[in-house]
Amino acid sequence: MSSTAPKDIVRQFLDAIAGGDGKTMLGLMADDAVMITPGSPKVPFNGRFEGKASITHAFTMFGEYLEIRDHTLKLLFGEGEHVGVMINETSRAKRTDRFIKQDTFWYFHITGGFIQSWQVFEDTEQVGWAWDDRATRRVE
């Protein structure tokens, strides 16, 4: 049986990301959850996504446009329903074949045993560069 402690929910979510298990990721999110990934509008999955249908669409775009090569948890901390994680990530923008290597910070707000909000803080310049129009495009 899964724990509903906020830190454990986030650990389960991170394990689902590592395993490419979108169904579990969505199952850990509230029906009216909000996901915020700020940055350049050139990046297909940047924006504010509200509700499971919208977040499902964002997860689909992640898979279409981004290949995660490494996703190493460096730090997980929290108090009450607030949980933060620092992750070292290496990923590849599939259309440009450019790599992103960065430390990111994610904030989660957990209520009622579900992720109510997930906000990403990352190097938006580097992520935007990976989708720059001047990058050589791969054949699709």
In order of their start, the domains of the chain are: 6-130 (3.10.450.50)
CA-CA distance, 28 to 104, in Å (whole number)?
21
> What is the phi-psi region of residue 66: left when phi exceeds 0, alpha when psi lies from -120 to 50, beta otherwise?
beta
Mean pLDDT computed over every residue of the chain: 89
Contacts of 109 (CB under 8 A, 6+ apart): 81, 82, 115, 116, 117
Q: Is the pLDDT of residue 72 over 70?
A: yes
Torsion of CA 138, 46, 108, 22, to 10 degrees: -50
**For the chain, percent of residues with pLDDT exceeding 70:** 93
pLDDT score at 46: 87
CA-CA distance, 102 to 36, in Å (whole number)?
18
pLDDT score at 39: 83
Q: Is the pLDDT of residue 1 over 50?
A: no
Contacts of 103 (CB under 8 A, 6+ apart): 74, 86, 87, 88, 89
Q: Is the pLDDT of residue 128 over 90?
A: no
Per-residue pLDDT tens for 2-50? 678 999 999 999 999 888 888 999 999 999 999 999 887 778 888 999 9
Classify the C-alpha dihedral 112-35-87-77 as positive or negative: negative
pTM of the predicted protein model: 0.88
Q: Is the pLDDT of residue 138 over 70?
A: no
- CA distances, 132 to each of 7, 23, 98, 101, 111 (Å): 36, 31, 10, 16, 38
